[in-house]
Amino acid sequence: MLPLIALMAMAATTGGPASEQTQSFGDWHTHIVLNGASMQSGSAYTEDGPGTGFGVACGRVCTYYLVSPIPCVDGTEYKALAASPTDTGEIRLRCMHLDVGDGLIPQDGARIEELLTGDTISFAFPLGDGQFNISSFSLNGAKQALTAVIGRWKQEGGTVHAPDDGSKAADPGLNDTTL
């Protein structure tokens, strides 16, 4: 799967030469786009089969995202269940239609971070009529990958987590993504 961040990076790269760095940490991968020595954008992500991914993408801010093969309605907010070995909770996800599939953006990134404990994180999305889509993602290597991207982003003065104002502008870098 082409990581969402790659699309963001492509959209964000307007003029000037950019270089890319990729790394793998366990089941997680990082992709950082550099403009000179500065980090222009980056992502840390993992996959659970074709078309299903979870990670963080840093464009103008850093935001967590899920990519699901199940279509969702652009702009609609969904309630979902997120579970880690030590914690469980309802989260809200906003659907964002992308050319490569539908992205779901958690509206509370800090809550996602609280759930990043243990070996796995799982999400259940209600599909209607008693059906759920369940995705589970390995957290093997997550800490290193997230530190590599979010840590560097913070070091360079970047903002983490989009504000929870319910608008598309809260997910900068995603809504204007083009291939």
- Which residues here bind other proteins, judged by CB under 8 A? 79-81, 83-85, 88-90, 118-124, 126-132, 134, 136
Give the nearest distance from C-beta 86 to other proteins in angstroms.
8
Residue number, 14 or 131, with CB nearest to other proteins: 131
Give the nearest distance from C-beta 10 to other proteins in angstroms.
33
Instruction: State whether residue 175 is helix, strand or coil.
Output: coil
Residue number, 75 or 126, with CB nearest to other proteins: 126
Instruction: State whether residue 177 is helix, strand or coil.
Output: coil
Contact predicate 173/57, CB 8 Å = yes
Question: Distance between CA atoms of 29 and 25, rounded to whole angstroms?
Answer: 6
Bridge partners of residue 123, in order along the sequence: 82, 135
Give the nearest distance from C-beta 81 to other proteins in angstroms.
4
Give the side-chain half-sphere CA count within 13 A for 97: 6
Residue number, 21 or 88, with CB nearest to other proteins: 88
Closest to 67 measured CA to CA, from 50, 85, 84: 50
Residue number, 83 or 100, with CB nearest to other proteins: 83
Give the nearest distance from C-beta 123 to other proteins in angstroms.
8
